[in-house]
Amino acid sequence: MATSAAAWQAPATMGHRAFTRYAWGVLGFALLAILWGYFLRISESGDGCGTDWPMCRAALEAETPSFSTLVELSHRLSSGLVLVLVLGMFVWAYRAYPRGSAVRFGATCALALTLSESLFGALLVLFGWVAGDISTGRLLIRPFHVTNTFSLMAALALTPLWASRGTARRPALSGEGLRIMWPAVLGALALAWTGAWTGLATTAFAPATLQEGLDQYQDPEHLLIPLRLLHPVLAVGVTALLLRTAARLRRPGGDPLAARLGTAVAILAVAQLAVGAGTILLGNPALARLFHLLVADAIWILLILAGATTLERAARSAPAV
């Protein structure tokens, strides 16, 4: 006997539809704040407020604040607004949805990850792991920071997805759906980790020409230079993995939305290879690097949404206990 759809879907109301629109809006604004954070790193503006956190006395005391100060201050303000918006989403979810709701779970994770994201920002500033710093501490913290940022994007995307689909209970991380999705999710995360190191290397050891960049590998002056090679090599393998995952999501009997999302992931993944190569050939201009990072975020969010719908479909079709 199959699990009834009523056990997984809650009836939609006007309030729930308003919440869904709000939650999608929070995701959109958070993505803009994250993208601005990328620009802060690319422009080496992370020290614009010195070690003053969370305030920015440099902006208040300077008669004419520097470019880096304005970038850092605006990033802090936008991040603070994200926290306020996520807190509003959290309160609304707890007022509109019952105990054990998937939407409550998503909103709770989003708030916790927003707070931990702020903590990472504080650590970077207080320890001076900003701007042109390439210390061991900054190299080690980058994968953890990236994981938190990607987890935050996942929570912010899952909350409105579950609200729009009327998902009453959070699907369990088990079964065929998990076997399909976990290699692609882990591969995308690993690609983001290596991308973070590559970004630091590109900023700290920016070659004037492509040949100069190749020459840096002959006698690398820092660990970041050989680490930079990991990202393009891994990108090819992860793209192949994403294509395989998309094909599996399109198999008969799967979730139609997951199949469409998987197709979008596959298309963007292939395009991202071209974007990455073009960024290198153009000499790594800031706008090209930002676009590359934006596409990476889009791939991640679509992959998470595809995974969630796949897990939900598998849970609905599982035999009742």
Full DSSP string of 250-275: TSTTS-HHHHHHHHHHHHHHHHHHHH
pLDDT tier for residue 43 given thresholds of 50, 70 and 90: very high
Look at 56-70, 103-117, 147-161, 216-230 and tell me which has the smallest mean pLDDT: 56-70
Which is nearest to 155 in space by CA: 208, 90, 204, 224? 90
Query: Percent of the chain at pLDDT above 70?
Result: 93
Calculate the CA dihedral of residues 83, 38, 109, 88 and round it to 10 degrees: 20
**Phi and psi at residue 134, in whole multiples of 5°?**
-130, 40
Same domain? 315 vs 288? yes
Q: What is the pLDDT of residue 316?
A: 65
Q: What is the pLDDT of residue 5?
A: 44
**For 166-178, what is the mean pLDDT?**
85
Q: Do 3 and 318 contact (CB within 8 A), yes or no?
A: yes
Measured CA to CA, the distance from residue 320 to residue 121 in angstroms comes to 45
**For 40-62, what is the mean pLDDT?**
84
Q: What is the pLDDT of residue 320?
A: 46
Which is nearest to 249 in space by CA: 177, 297, 302? 177
* Other residues' Cβ atoms within 10 Å of the Cβ of residue 47: 19
pLDDT in tens, 253-299: 788 999 999 999 999 999 999 999 999 989 899 999 999 999 999 99
Q: Name the token pair of 283.
A: 């000499």
User: Across the chain, what does the average pLDDT equal?
Assistant: 90
Q: Is the pLDDT of residue 47 over 70?
A: yes
Size of the chain, expressed as the number of residues it contains: 321
**For 169-194, what is the mean pLDDT?**
91
Measured CA to CA, the distance from residue 185 to residue 214 in angstroms comes to 31
Measured CA to CA, the distance from residue 246 to residue 262 in angstroms comes to 4
pLDDT tier for residue 2 given thresholds of 50, 70 and 90: very low
The residue that leads in pLDDT, 57 or 154, is 154
Measured CA to CA, the distance from residue 276 to residue 11 in angstroms comes to 44
Q: What is the pLDDT of residue 15?
A: 62
Same domain? 124 vs 144? yes
SS3 at position 167: strand
Same domain? 166 vs 178? no
Find where tokens 């719908």 sit. 309
- Residue-range definition of the domain harbouring residue 297: 171-321
DSSP 129: -
Q: What is the pLDDT of residue 253?
A: 78
Q: Name the token pair of 298.
A: 């889009």
Number of domains in the chain: 2
Rounded alpha-carbon distances, angstroms, from residue 210 to 207, 214, 281, 310 = 7, 6, 7, 42
Same domain? 21 vs 105? yes
pLDDT tier for residue 11 given thresholds of 50, 70 and 90: low
Q: What is the pLDDT of residue 7?
A: 45
**For 54-62, what is the mean pLDDT?**
78
Same domain? 123 vs 259? no
pLDDT in tens, 206-259: 887 878 888 888 888 898 998 888 999 999 999 999 999 999 999 887 889 999
pLDDT tier for residue 30 given thresholds of 50, 70 and 90: very high
**Residue that terminates a domain, selected from 170, 197, 221:** 170
Q: Do 222 and 197 contact (CB within 8 A), yes or no?
A: no
The residue that leads in pLDDT, 12 or 243, is 243
Q: Is the pLDDT of residue 14 over 60?
A: no
**For 116-137, what is the mean pLDDT?**
93
CA angle 206, 207, 211 (to 5 degrees): 155
**Phi and psi at residue 264, in whole multiples of 5°?**
-65, -40
**Residue that terminates a domain, selected from 170, 186, 209:** 170
Q: Is the peptide bond before 54 cis (omega within 30 degrees of 0)?
A: yes
Calculate the CA dihedral of residues 200, 206, 211, 213 and round it to 10 degrees: -20
What residues contact 38, with CB distance under 8 A and at least 6 apart? 289, 290, 293
Same domain? 134 vs 240? no
Same domain? 203 vs 273? yes
Same domain? 157 vs 219? no
Q: Do 217 and 226 contact (CB within 8 A), yes or no?
A: yes
Same domain? 104 vs 175? no
